Structure 1
Amino acid sequence: MRRVKLFLIFLFTFILLNPVFERVYGENATAFMASHYVLFALGFWLGLSFRSLKHRLIRTIVGSAIAVLVHTPTVFDASAYYEILRIVLELALFSSGYLIGSSLSFGWDRYAYSLLGGWMIGDTSLSIAFMIGDPNYSYPLSPFQTWQIKDAGMFMFLFMNLVAFFIVMRIFVSYVERT
C-alpha cells in the first residue's frame, strides 16, 4: 500500500510540475493557487506516512514559515513571473506539507486542532486580501489581473471552507461514535 501511495504522490507531483501546467500557472491565478493546495496536500499525505513526535514543533514551525513565505506578495508575484522560481517554491510547498503532516500524532489532539485553526486563519486572511483586490498581488506587480486575483480568492475561500467542513464533520462523527 505504501508503494502505491508513493507512486501516486510522485505521479501527481510530476503532472503538476511540467511545462504545460507551469505555463498555465503563470497566466491563471486560480490554477496557480489550486496547485499550491494540491502540492501541500500531497506533501502532507506523504508526511502522514512518516509521522514522528520527535522535533514536531520545529517541523511545524519550519513548514508553516515556508507556506507563509511562499504567499507573501513579493515572493508570490516573482514566482508567477519566473518559472524556475515557481518550481522551487512549489517543491518548497510540497516539503512544507510533508513537514507538517509528519509532525502530527495519530488521531486528533489539541496540536492538530491548533494547526487546523491556524490554517483557516491564514487562508481566510489571504483569500480576503485576494477578494478585495489587494494591489500587491495583482498587475502590474504580478502577471495576474485584479479580476483573476479576486476569482482566486473566491476559489480559496470556498475550497478552504469545504475542506474544513469535511474535517469538522469527520471529527464530530468520530466523537458521536465513541459516545
Structure 2
Amino acid sequence: MSIQILQYEFLGPIPLDEWGPPMEKLVYLILSKDQDKFNILYIGDCEMTDDKSFFVQHENFKCWVEKSGSEKSLYLAILPMFESSKDHRLSVYNKILSRYKPPCNSENDPKPEPTYSVRTSEEPKENSQKILCLCCGSEMKAEQILEKSTVYRCTSCGLSDTKLNS
C-alpha cells in the first residue's frame, strides 16, 4: 500500500502502533484517519533510530493524539531516502511542510539561514545638507563613498549624481 504526497510515493500508511524499528534516512508523515481519508498531522525526517518508543516519546506525540482524537487513529507513512543527503531530505520536508502546513509542525517551521549578509551603507563623515534630485526634487542618498567623491542616487527616480568631497 502507498500514498502519494506531491510527487513523492510514501509507503503506508500503517497504524502507528504497528511500527517497529529500525528506521533510517527517511521522511515520515504522521496521519490521522478520518473515515476514508487521511489528514497530515506532522512531517518529520529521521537519520537513524532503533528506538521502539521513537514516536510515543516524540515531543509532538500529545499534539498528534489531540488532533486525531485517539492513538488508534494515528498512522505512519514513510518515504525511504537511503541514498539521500540531509539537504535533500530537508528539501522534500520543506516542500510538503509549505504545501500542507501540518498542524503539529507549527512551532517547528524551519527558519533557513540567509545566504547573504546585510551591510549598512556608509554615510558621509561630514554633516552635509540634503542633496535634492535635479530631475524630480526628491532627496538623494549617498550610494557609494569614494576617495575624493561621493555617488548619490535619487530615492524616487533613480537618477545618480557625483559630488566632490570637501
Fold-level match, TM-score > 0.5? no
The two structures have a TM-score, normalised by structure 1, of 0.23
**Greater relative contact order structure (CA < 8 Å, 6+ sep):** 1
- Compare the two structures and name the one with the higher strand fraction: 2
Question: Which structure has the larger Rg over C-alpha atoms?
Answer: 2
